[in-house]
């Protein structure tokens, strides 16, 4: 084999090997979204709202466009802010996760607010929360997250 032929052979092999790999990357439909460390705080009987915390990261830019859970009538993304020296919460609007970013929902900051709780959240049980994300191409994907309930005061 002459050096030139050898080079060609190598380039051809490289193309043959890479082609299916690239095809599978471009056709993979959705960002790699991961939800970790999810938890909710227990509520007392009669309490109408609850809070869920978690860390959300994504390989590509996505937005959290829909949140559902069986234990509440509605779910909103809330944030905390100071108002006249008092911590208050307000609706944050759609949560956006940039490519490679991790967004942390934690006490004192962002959280998922469960509105219209159908029953108290008891320590030790798990809620199911369905998070629907949408990417830049308007493709949607739903993650089902199991959320353990921690005792009050933890
Ligand atoms: Cu809230």
Whether residue 47 is predicted with pLDDT greater than 90 in this model: the reply is: yes
Predicted confidence (pLDDT) at residue 50 exceeds the cutoff of 50: yes
Supply 147's token pair.
Answer: 């959320």
The pLDDT > 90 percentage for the chain reads 73
Residue 52 predicted with pLDDT over 70:
yes
Could you tell me which of 145, 1, 147, 131 has the C-alpha nearest to residue 65?
131
For residue 29, name the pLDDT band (cuts at 50, 70, 90).
confident
| Separation in Å, CA 42 to CA 99, 113, 119 | 33, 13, 11
For residue 32, the CA-to-ligand 1 centroid distance in Å is 27
For ligand 1, the distance from its centroid to the CA atom of residue 81, given in whole angstroms, is: 11
Average pLDDT, the chain: 87
Q: How many distinct helices (H) and strands (E) make up the chain?
A: 1, 10
Cα of 111 vs centre of ligand 1, distance in Å, is 6
Q: Which of 50, 80, 78 is nearest to 64 (CA)?
A: 78
Q: Is the pLDDT of residue 1 over 70?
A: no
Nearest residue to 92 via CA among 103, 101, 61:
103
Separation of CA 101 and ligand 1 centre (Å): 23
**φ and ψ of 120, to 5 deg:** -65, 150
What is residue 24's predicted lDDT score, i.e. its pLDDT? Answer: 45
pLDDT of residue 35: 97
Answer whether residue 69 shows pLDDT above 90. Answer: yes
Dist. CA 90 → ligand 1 center (Å): 6
Mean pLDDT of 60-83: 95
Distance 77 CA to ligand 1 centre (A): 7
Please write the tens of the pLDDT for every residue from 3-26: 555 555 555 555 555 555 554 444
From ligand 1's centre to the CA of 51, what distance in Å?
Answer: 7
How far, in Å, is the centroid of ligand 1 from the Cα of 79? Answer: 7
Lowest mean pLDDT among 26-35, 50-59, 77-86: 26-35
Cα distance between the two ends of the chain: 71
Q: What spacing in Å lies between the alpha carbon of 112 and ligand 1's midpoint?
A: 7
Q: For the segment 101-142, what is each residue's pLDDT rounded down to a tens digit?
A: 999 999 999 999 999 999 999 999 999 999 999 999 999 999
> How far, in Å, from the CA of 73 to the mean position of ligand 1?
14
């Amino acid at each position: 084999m002459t050096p030139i032929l050898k080079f060609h052979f190598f380039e051809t092999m490289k193309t043959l090997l890479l082609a299916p790999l690239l095809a599978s990357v471009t056709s993979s439909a959705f960002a790699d979204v991961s939800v970790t460390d999810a938890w909710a705080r227990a509520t007392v009987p009669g309490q109408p709202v609850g809070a869920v915390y978690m860390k959300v990261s994504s390989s590509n830019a996505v937005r959290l466009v829909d949140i559902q859970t069986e234990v509440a009538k509605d779910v909103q993304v809330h944030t905390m802010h100071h108002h006249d020296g008092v911590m208050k919460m307000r609706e944050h609007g759609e949560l956006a996760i940039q490519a490679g970013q991790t967004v942390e929902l934690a006490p004192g900051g962002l959280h998922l607010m469960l509105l219209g709780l159908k029953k108290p959240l008891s320590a030790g049980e798990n809620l199911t929360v369905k998070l629907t994300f949408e990417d830049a191409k308007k493709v949607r994907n739903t993650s089902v997250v199991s959320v353990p309930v921690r005792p009050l005061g933890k």
